[in-house]
Amino acid sequence: MASIILVRHSRSTANTAGVLAGQAPGISLDETGFAQAEGLIDRIGDVLISRVISSPLQRCIETISPWQKKYGKSKIEIDESFIESDYGSWTGQKLNELAKEPLWKEVQKEPSSVTFPEGESFKAMFARVSTGLDSIIKTLAENDNVIVVSHGDIIKLAIAKILDLPIDNFQKLVIDPASISIVKVENSEDSEDTEHSKRTALISMNESGTPLSKLLENKELAGLGGGKGDGGGA
């Protein structure tokens, strides 16, 4: 069974400063973030990874580079589908100031209706993330493990797609810096079953300590009765 491993970038200088970084260039990890990135070396470990796909932004590349240097078997692929949200004129502003804006309440309550000033809408974000995921899923071979390094809201939207959650509910998900979430992808045994040829399930979310090899132990998607219950966990 194949896996898509969603990794949020480690803590950045913008996270520390309480600034909405968006797609602004030059946002690096802070001291804690670099330590978290080093920690991913052991957390991901020597699990066989067929592809590493990343947002083009610096903080994502810095997050996966220590692991890639030690264990990576191929180059990091850049995919704009997983870039951070384009917050338009909100980019670079303090979060505590933005929270006073009338639009902030809509971001929390009804994001499907929101387009950031001079920026991107949540619907457009969801569409590009969905396209990126579909492209990966389509090409997955049995037992492939693909890492995708991205951003908090983008990973939440990816998980919302997998769970068929409405966009307006995606803010109920929490994705921490340097966390790992895993989507399992199961090929249908019936080659004529085109509608369900790639069944997906979220088996782990926002994991911040358990080694990847342990998280990947779950070898089945839940069936009637909930499955055997013999995979994953600390």
Query: Has residue 66 been placed in a domain?
Result: yes
Structural domain includes residue 156:
yes
pLDDT of res. 165: 96
Within a domain: 231: no
Q: Specify if 132 maps to a domain.
A: yes
133 within domain boundaries: yes
Cα distance between residue 1 and residue 221, in whole Å? 9
pLDDT (tens digit per residue) in 89-145: 999 999 999 999 999 999 999 999 999 999 999 999 999 999 999 999 999 998 999
Could you give the percent of the chain with pLDDT greater than 90?
81
Inside any domain, residue 174: yes
Residue 138 lies in a domain: yes
Nearest residue to 215 (alpha-carbon basis) of 167, 183, 190, 169? 183
**Separation CA 71–CA 46 (nearest Å):** 6
Check which CATH number belongs to the domain holding 142 and give it.
3.40.50.1240
Which residue range forms the structural domain that includes residue 66?
2-226
How many residues are present in the chain?
234
Residue 233 lies in a domain: no
Q: How many domains does the chain have?
A: 1
Query: In the predicted model, what is the mean pLDDT of residues 58-84?
Result: 97
